[in-house]
Structure formats: C-alpha cells, structure tokens
Amino acid sequence: MGFVHGLKCRECGREYPVDAIYVCEFCFGPLEVAYDYEGIKRILTRDRITSRPQNLWRYKELLPIDGEPTSGLNSGFTPLVRADKLARVIGVKELYIKDDTVTHPTLSFKDRVVAVALSKAREFGFDTVACASTGNLAHSVSAHGAAGGFKRFIFIPASLERSKIVASLVYGPNLIAVDGNYDDVNRLCSEIANKYRWAFVNINIRPFYAEGSKTQGYEILEQLGWKAPDAVVVPSASGSLLTKIWKSFKEFKQLGLIDELNTKVFSAQATGCSPIITAIKSGVDVIKPVKPDTIAKSLAIGNPADGYYATNVVRESGGFGEDVSDPEIVDAIRLLAGTEGIFAETAGGVTLASAIKLIKEGYIKEDDLTVLCITGNGLKTKEAIMGHTGEPYHISPNMKAFEETLKKINEK
C-alpha cells in the first residue's frame, strides 16, 4: 500500500512531505494529497474492488494512509436506494438516494472522513484527537476515538440541539461548548491547534480527513453499475463534500473504472446560510461570509472553507445550486420519509427541497439519472420537525374505542 507521494498546494503547486499540515506556507492555499495514479491504475480494478468487504476501505489505494486502516472498519458502503415513488412526486424518471443516514457507527457521512482521519492520526503517532463540529462530526470523532483509544476534545457551538449534545457525551469525550456559532468555534480551534499537538481532524489533519468524503462518490459510481449519474445534488456546508465527490468521479474516470463522465454537480444550502449558493447565482467565486440563521445546523457554516472550490466545481460541471427556506426543509424531510421510508436530518431536507426547485426550474431534466446525497439521520435532529408531524390518536384500551377511531381514519 501507500500511493501517496506527498502534499501539494492546490493554488501554487508547492510540494511538501506528508505531515500533519494543511496550509501552504507561501500562499496559504490548501494542501491536498498527491497520489501516484499510474501505480494505482496498475492494481485497482473493478474486480479487485468488488472482491473486498463492503466498507469504505475497499477503495483504500485512493485514500491517504500508508499502512492498513485502523479506524472505521465497518464504515461506508451505505445503500443506494432507487426511489421510484419519490421520483414520480418530484418529476424525474430515475432517482436514487445515497443513504448515509445508516453509516456505521454514528449515522452520518462524517464516519467516512473520521475513519480516514483517525487512521492517519494513528500513523502520525497522535494520542489526542479533536474537532470543531456542528454535531455530526462531534459524534463521529467521539465514537471512533473511543473505539481507537484516543483522548478526545470536541468543540461545539453551545446552541447545538440537546439531542446532538447527548449523542456526543455518551461516548465520554471532553466536550467543550463554546459561546458562539460554528465559525467562532472553528476560529478558536485554529488558535488551539497552533498551540497543542493534537490531531484536529478538520484542521491539521484536514488534507487526509477530507479525502474520506470521496468514498461516497466511489460508492455511487460502483452501485450504479460503474457509471456516473447525469446529476448529483450535494448539501453544502464547508463545500468539501461537493468538491470531493467531484474529485472521486474524476479519479474513477482517470483510472478507467468508469467510461464516461458527464455529471452536473448541484449544491444545496439553506437560505439562512447560503454563501455558496449566493456566489453561484451571482456568477462570482468570491464567497461573502454570512451569519447563519437556519434550522439546518449541520450546514450552518457562514464562512465555508471550500466555498471557492465548490463554486468552481459547480461551474466546471455545468451544474447550479439552490437554497431553501426552513419550512421547505421540514416539508422535504416529511416527503422523503413518507415516500421512501428514509428519515433524514435537516441537511437531507435541504438536499431534497433544493432538488425539487432545480427540477422545477429545468436545471435538472426529467430524463436525468439523478442522485441525492442524504448525509445524516433524522433521529439526530428530531427538534427540527417537532410540531410538524401530526399527532397520535389517543384511545382507551378497548375495541370500541379503536373501531371508532378507525372509522374516523377511514373517512379521512
């Protein structure tokens, strides 16, 4: 194993040896992992991939670790669900849900990036892992870190939903609730990462961590039968997932694992935090930061690190983006659950609601084979839909009461 030959600045191209660094000393551009694709091409075939266990490490040559993985050995390879009922409602012929609501072990796509980040942190010799999080990442670092025997420092905005706080605490990390929004937490963590030698998965481990998102893209291509969709709709917070899904598609094309790539990539954000969509719609690549105000807290990054690259991917691929209101998010969560039996967190509502708009507006055509990336489980954000789901029928414990109620239900 080991097809990584270094880190490379995405802006100026300067190269660095593999280390826990993330930013170019010269231009501050992001460092990216550089692979030996020729070497990978010689050994990574469709047959080799399909012969391996169904987890994200089946693509390990395209992930930035040197030895064998040590974290997230059961993460990834989530279902790609053909969603015919939902397709009819929203007006496309062939629709799939990439269902990361069931990612092992913490029910969001963050288990992918953390699997890679913690495997790499172990290779670097760190004993403490840390992150700035809006919730899902906190859960994932808490859980994978517990299993891996790491000390854990998890920084969250103090305003996070109570259920998300509990779902981190259960794993026993040091949970630090910071007065402020995610961008405040992130800035603080950048300063802490300067001082303490910890593996901050989304700061100094970020070049490695972010590569884990590619596995969602690889799986989509493999599960579609080694072909790329016509359209993919991706929720955007930092913009990293969207750029990495595009990268995964391009890598599979380059390696000959798919024959053609004509996918249009679409970004989805909540209107209350839509700096990327604002840039896309106004045709610029300068991201103007915002102060988030939306129920989609997992997407509430007002100052998206990869926003610039995300807008470039959307433009390069011929896609577009849409933003949706909080009520549209709630309606979409209910629609997905009611048609396909998948309960997504608020980010999933953002993705579906944005897709509906993009279809109505003609950016996604009826004949486009479309994939929606649903990235987290609705049980994490129950607060968002409380009061919007209807109520149970209360009855006495006897047949008469039941049959009276049944009559009312049947008359509805």
Partner 1 sequence: MAVKVKIPVPLQRLTQGKDEVEGDSGTIISLINNLEQKYPGLGERISEGGKLRRFVNVYVNEEDVRFLKNEETVVKDGDEVSIVPAIAGGN
User: Is there binding between residue 25 and partner 1 (CB under 8 A)?
Assistant: yes
Angstrom distance (rounded) from CA 102 to CA 110: 11
Of the residues 113, 310, 329, 352, which one makes contact with partner 1 according to CB under 8 A: 113
Minimum distance of partner 1 from residue 188's CB (angstroms) = 9
Strand partners, 374: 99
Applying the rule CB under 8 A, the residues between 220 and 249 that interact with partner 1 are: 237-238, 240
Answer positive or negative: Cα dihedral of 217, 223, 227, 232: negative
Of the residues 1, 27, 158, 169, which one makes contact with partner 1 according to CB under 8 A: 27
Considering only 23-31, 38-46, 81-89, 385-393, which stretch makes contact with partner 1 by CB under 8 A? 23-31
Minimum distance of partner 1 from residue 194's CB (angstroms) = 5
Angstrom distance (rounded) from CA 262 to CA 249: 10
Angstrom distance (rounded) from CA 44 to CA 37: 10
Residues 90, 98: contact at Cβ < 8 Å? no
Minimum distance of partner 1 from residue 30's CB (angstroms) = 4
DSSP per residue, 42-73: HH--HHHHHTS-SSGGGGGGGSS-SS---S-T
Of the residues 80, 87, 95, 132, which one makes contact with partner 1 according to CB under 8 A: 132
Closest CA to 171 of 148, 146, 191: 146
User: Is there binding between residue 119 and partner 1 (CB under 8 A)?
Assistant: no
**Are β-strands 231-235 and 370-374 bridged in parallel, bridged antiparallel, or unpaired?**
parallel
Minimum distance of partner 1 from residue 76's CB (angstroms) = 18
Round to the nearest angstrom and report the end-to-end CA distance of the chain. Answer: 62
Strand partners, 322: 268
Residues 129, 118: contact at Cβ < 8 Å? yes
**Smaller CB distance to partner 1: residue 76 or 212?**
212
Considering only 57-65, 120-128, 190-198, 401-409, which stretch makes contact with partner 1 by CB under 8 A? 190-198
Of the residues 209, 218, 252, 266, which one makes contact with partner 1 according to CB under 8 A: 209
Structure tokens at 117: 């980040």
**Smaller CB distance to partner 1: residue 71 or 134?**
134
User: Is there binding between residue 77 and partner 1 (CB under 8 A)?
Assistant: no
Angstrom distance (rounded) from CA 243 to CA 239: 6
**Smaller CB distance to partner 1: residue 145 or 229?**
145
DSSP state of 384: G
Of the residues 1, 26, 85, 360, which one makes contact with partner 1 according to CB under 8 A: 26
Residues that bind partner 1 (CB under 8 A): 11, 21-30, 110, 113, 132-137, 180, 182-184, 186-187, 189-191, 193-195, 202-203, 206, 209-210, 237-238, 240, 286, 288-289, 291, 298-301, 303-306, 308
